[in-house]
Amino acid sequence: DVKVTQSSRYLVKRTGEKVFLECVQDMDHENMFWYRQDPGLGLRLIYFSYDVKMKEKGDIPEGYSVSREKKERFSLILESASTNQTSMYLCASRILGTGLYEQYFGPGTRLTVT
Amino acid sequence: AQTVTQSQPEMSVQEAETVTLSCTYDTSENNYYLFWYKQPPSRQMILVIRQEAYKQQNATENRFSVNFQKAAKSFSLKISDSQLGDTAMYFCAFILIQGAQKLVFGQGTRLTINP
């Protein structure tokens, strides 16, 4: 079974703090993704990575950065957290070459910025 | 840009009933995949069913089936003999085969199965 894990299920941070969200997958997947999930908006792509040290902006990258130093780990960084970044954050991974395009999701991190 | 629309924010049915969740999408491309994902309360999102756009036959997975109408750009999910464990958020999603291959999600439908 593919396993995607995220470092925290719940996180509370203060405005202006630097926040790190970690995601690890154990199936040697090349592609990894960060989404935020908000009611009525579905999932929106923040950043994705095709492979180690590669990153691409998604639809809502403002206020976020990412790091992928190892294939299994993809980190989302909020440089200076703001209240409008309170949300559920989902990580996903995907293997290349199968032609199936299925993404496997982590359990999510519910971040509250006060 | 591709968009996915789920027009039913919430639905509720009795156990054992059949329920259909609606999804429409917009694209000018021909080669794509469509998905339904399920997110149970406090649990991970999982894939329910996948449909390749080039296949005319509707996909089925046990009690889950889709009605794929390519010309109408419609992709509904039918759940037969609904069970309490089907209670979840359901997301319709779309991916182009070419290009960046990013998943585009709809807004989600919260489905509740009542005993």
* DSSP-derived secondary structure for chain A: ---EEES-SEEEE-TT--EEEEEEESS--SEEEEEEEETTTEEEEEEEESSTT--EE-S--TTEEEEEEETTEEEEEESS--GGG-EEEEEEEE-SSSS----EE---EEEEE-
Give the Cβ contact number of residue B82 at 10 Å. 20
Q: Which residues of B touch A43 (CB under 8 A)?
A: 91, 103, 105
* Chain B interface mutation, best of A48, A102, A110, highest count of B Cβ atoms under 10 Å: A102
B91 touches chain A (CB under 8 A): yes
Phi/psi for B51 (5° steps) reads -135, 125
Chain A: residue whose CA lies nearest to B10: A40
Q: Which residue among B6, B9, B44 sits closest to A107, beta carbon to beta carbon?
A: B44
Question: What is the distance between the terminal CA atoms of chain B, rounded to a whole angstrom?
Answer: 41
Of B6, B45, B50, the CB nearest to A90: B45
Question: pLDDT tens across A20-71, in order?
Answer: 999 999 988 899 999 999 998 999 999 999 999 999 999 999 999 999 999 9
Rounded to 5°, angle at Cα B72 from B40 and B12: 30
Helix, strand counts (H, E) of chain B: 0, 12
User: CB-based contact (8 Å) between A40 and chain B?
Assistant: yes
Q: What is the pLDDT of residues B95-110, one digit of tens each?
A: 988 876 789 999 999 9
The model's pLDDT over B16-27, given as tens digits with 9 standing for 90+, comes to 999 999 999 999
CB neighbours of residue B58 within 10 Å: 15
Question: By the CB < 8 Å criterion, does B112 face chain A?
Answer: no
